[in-house]
Amino acid sequence: MSAPQPSASEGGLIERRSIEVVPDSERHGTPFSQFTLWFGANLQITAVVTGALAVVLGADAFWSLIALLLGNLLGGAVMALHSAQGPRLGLPQMISSRAQFGVYGAVVPLVCVVVMYVGFFASGTVLAGQAVGHLTHLGDTTGILVFAVATAVMAVIGYRVIHRLGRVAGAVCALAFVYLGIRLLRRVSLGDLLADHSFHLPAFLLAVSLAASWQLAFGPYVADYSRYLPRDTSPRTTFWATLAGTVLGSQWSMAFGALAAAASAGAIVGDEVGYVVGLGGGGLIASVLYFVIALGKLTINVLNTYGGFMSLLTGVSGFRAQRGLSPRGRAGYVLGIMLAGTVVALLGRGDFLDSFSTFLLFLLIFFTPWSAINLVDYYLVAKERYDLPALSDPAGRYGTWRWRAILTYVLGILIQLPFIATEFYTGPMVGRLGGADISWIVGLVIPGALYALLARGDRGRVPDRMIWGHEQPRITAPAPPRPTASTAD
């Protein structure tokens, strides 16, 4: 049963919509909001840790910077293509997966997505909890709990506050990173850090994979934050605004992390937050930096919680024919994501750097095939034409389970296994490639090509035009003039 829908006149701070189409009367904003959101979301400590991993795991600083930029550009382009779907469809990202996987079948990738959000919530909460614990002198455990509650409150408020938080965090964190960069380069010469130009292909590809996986992980929820833009917003402008924001923010953070790791001689491992704050100084400066770290992590953790709520609701609602959600139900879903992430954070805070590396790289194999299928279907097969009411109707044109997409997705996961290199699992082809991990390339190219081939025989589900449903205003041609007595003659 659908929850009561808000009227078009409702425009308070607390968001009222969830997985239903955002009507034209409630659309607002400009593509620049995507730049500020993703710039702010990436200027944060976990991105610093990701950049540091490139050096910790074997690459030198010089080639790490190049590899991280390449990974951010490649993964960011895929992520930005998802973002461009938001204004056109007016829907959260994972709802559109029902067009490829079926109304019930979309739950297959959704399970992995929800696990991802819980994992990223937990990993971000560990780092932010350290900052809050230092700032309040109450310890890491209390810091984790305080931070988790703040995250849940922001996620319940929703879309508008998330964008405002991104703008504030982007400005504050940019100033902090400028200061920390200056302090780092006073300790050690940039020339000394970049002096080693020895190239090792496996370490280079690993750093590319780290950055690419960082960006690809945003794909399942990036359109959640562009879906309120006016429907006539240029897809190209949305794409470039998103790409610029996410690449600039992430590359800045990761480059700082790589240089800090190179300068630390291993000291950053195990105390990432403490080492970064120590670069800035003690006393009041340290307190300010702890606050900035918590603010940066709050932005991305709210995104993860909000995206987790949307994805969980998308999966459940497909089986319940549900098109909306009450505010109380929304709070319940958010609370569930928060509790699961907090438990994982409290249990897994030891050896965080190693655990995060394994999680990030292994997670990638579940999202590259989904991205390939979704993008190929949207841009090449359906050509931006979907039947939006049918996305919530198991008896509609998309049906319950679409086995072409599901089997392609499963094959896309399996075909990556020989090429993946993590502590959790290393495939048999990795040794022949000198230790290089190319699984994410395989996971994008092969499933995308296979789905494009299989979907050619399934054109019946593609409407000849976009079908909006009753929530969108219908534009009708003017009625022809009625014949008069003179014209009748």
> Residue 75: inside a domain, yes or no?
yes
Q: Which residues contact 465 (CB under 8 A, 6 or more apart)?
A: 385
> Mean pLDDT across the stretch 415-423?
86
Question: Range with the lowest mean pLDDT among 139-148, 175-184, 223-232, 372-381?
Answer: 139-148
As a dihedral over the C-alpha atoms of residue 38, residue 366, residue 347, residue 300, rounded to 10 degrees, the angle is: 10
In a domain, 355, yes or no: yes
- Residue-wise pLDDT tens digits, 68-123: 999 999 999 999 999 999 999 999 888 899 999 999 999 988 888 888 788 888 87
Q: Helix, strand, coil proportions of the chain in percent (round to 5)?
A: 70, 0, 30
- Residue 457 belongs to a domain: no
Structure tokens at 432: 């022949």
- Reported residue count of the chain is 489
Residue 192 located in a structural domain:
yes
Assigned domain for 148 exists: yes
User: The domain containing residue 327 runs over which residues?
Assistant: 32-361
Where do we find the tokens 């979704």?
A: 374
- Residue 468 is assigned to a structural domain of this protein: no
Sign of the dihedral defined by the CA atoms of residues 251, 254, 260, 262, in that order = negative
Instruction: Find the mean pLDDT for residues 422-438.
Output: 80
pLDDT category, 252, cuts 50, 70, 90? very high
| CATH code of the domain covering residue 67 | 1.10.4160.10
Q: Across residues 170-191, what is the average pLDDT?
A: 92
Contact 336, 312 (CB under 8 A): yes
Q: Which residues contact 148 (CB under 8 A, 6 or more apart)?
A: 125, 338, 341, 342, 345
> Residues 122-170: pLDDT tens digits?
877 887 887 788 777 788 888 888 888 888 898 888 888 889 999 999 9
* pLDDT tens-place string over residues 44-57: 888 998 899 888 88
Please state the domain count of the chain.
1
Give percent of the chain with pLDDT exceeding 70. Answer: 89
For residue 446, being part of any structural domain is answered with no
In sequence order, what DSSP letters do the residues of 387-429 get, joined into one string?
A: BTGGGG-TTSTT-S--HHHHHHHHHHHHTTGGG-B-SS-B-TH
Domain for residue 234, yes or no? yes
- Per-residue pLDDT of 270-327, as tens digits, reads 677 788 888 888 888 988 998 898 898 888 889 888 888 888 888 887 777 666 677 7
